[in-house]
Amino acid sequence: MRLNWQDTTKIILIAGISSLLTVGLFKYFEKDKLKVVYEQQQPIHLTDYKLPEGLVDFRLAAKIANPAVVHIKTTGSSSNDEYRGMNPFEFFGFPFDKFDRNFGPLEATGSGVILTSNGYIVTNNHVIDGGSEYEVTLFDNRKFNAKLVGKDPSTDLALLKIDAEGLPYLKFGDSDKVEVGEWCVAVGNPFNLTSTVTAGIISAKGRNINILNDKFKIESFIQTDAAVNPGNSGGALVTLTGELIGINTAIASKTGSYAGYSFAIPSRIVQKVVNDLIEFGKVQRGFLGVSIQDLNAKLAKEYDINRTKGVYIAGVNSGSGAEAAGIQKGDVIFKINEVEVNNSAEMQEQIGRLRPGDKVKVHYLRGNKEYTTVVTLKNSQGSEKLSSSKDKNSSIDFKKELGADLKNLTSDEKKRFDVQGGVVVLNLTNGKLKQAGVKEGFIIQKINKKTVNSVDDVMEALSSDDGGILLEGKYPNGTKAFYAIGW
């Protein structure tokens, strides 16, 4: 039978309408199915926020976090190897082609997070370490010169301040409440690309990856699979509602680029360090006064311990808070202030939030019997008192104590002496420098392995270090020298 064109058109229209109805009904039921699945999996502490229907949405987190994440460019000099060459774990604040291990020029780039409307910005210590100038670029492309408020190598955090008001900022979330498997969003400036947003899940908590070289290091990272790369250092890790739960710090990589795992400093540690730097100019770190190691099946069998998780006490320092509270070698700590600690990283995180003089409740095992005691934390000098670098700076007459004037090197002097930075010793009189054998003209390039670029760096180092001070540098004729002074 032959069909005329009117009959053919009717058939095509009927087929088209049927197809549209079929697709529409499929999409309707598919959407409803996705909605049910998501509602079943929704994190408990996000129930106050009504997410869009369907799958997880990251738009709210991006809108909140993007304006509060900044780009940081650090310039100066550095000979600091402690942040490089630690495969398979790498920091990612330094572009590889701009880092010189031997007093070469430093131009490091990274990210930072605005914490207050008047311009306090947190970033990683390795982003600013060795620098003398810090340029901050905001989300709206405004640029500011920043001042260094303070830094803490133990946690790889630093605090900058810019002269601005009315800035967008992120509110702290509670990293303790973050759960493995929960969605998260990373915001930063990888490869100098402004405001890049990536998403992932919380893969693990309390990770110790042994990347920090500081003797009092605290490593209890949040592990995620959100893609981060060089330039992301100091950027934000946020929840779906835009709360700051971590500062992105390192990646697990053999190439220096993202390979599946990244690590962030928990917000509870960040908040404590930032508050200390603002209030005191230095971090107030409390110590139990013990040497520790992770408890495992082998150790538990060797010492007949009936659990395989916890922190084994390998030694107790004389005069420490732990000794005064009755803790002994061989004890196993499994709770700090009612928080379970399964390894050294988790315990260090809990103690790292506290200050000297704070009291902490410790649950421990001895002879497979549980005990509880209260330890009063002390600082590294064995005192329960808080100290301030600001107070110490103002009370010290540096010229009198050192017996010399210190002067920043000019650009011409840097070229003439073949150095990228340092401070020259002048007008030497009786004092600690002369007693140690220092001669006039000595250029101080390092104090206790930390690079010195200005007189302010010297004052900061002397204010934060007690006991022995190691000076490294050279004389104008090229002779290198090392001097140890008591302080």
Q: How far apart are CA 473 and CA 438, in angstroms?
A: 11
Residue 270, Cβ neighbours under 10 Å: how many? 23
Q: How far apart are CA 314 and CA 299, in angstroms?
A: 11
Looking at residue 409, what DSSP letter applies? P
Return the beta strands (E) in 79-130 as ranges.
89-91, 104-114, 120-123
Q: How far apart are CA 442 and CA 333, in angstroms?
A: 50
Burial class (CB in 10 A: 0-12, 13-18, 19+), 224: buried
Q: How far apart are CA 450 and CA 282, in angstroms?
A: 16
- SS3 label, residue 249: strand
Those residues with Cβ within 8 angstroms of residue 28's Cβ, 6 or more apart along the chain or in another chain: none
The two most distant CA atoms of the chain are separated, in Å, by 119
Residue recorded with tokens 């998260």 = 184
Among 200, 315, 303, which Cα is nearest to 261's? 200
Percent helix, strand and coil across the chain, each to the nearest 5: 25, 30, 40
- SS3 label, residue 16: helix
Among 257, 262, 322, which Cα is nearest to 290's? 322
The residues that bridge with 75 in the sheet, in sequence order, are 107, 133
Q: How far apart are CA 332 and CA 306, in angstroms?
A: 11
- SS3 label, residue 348: helix
Q: What are phi and psi of 25, to 5 degrees?
A: -65, -40
Catalytic residue positions?
126, 156, 233
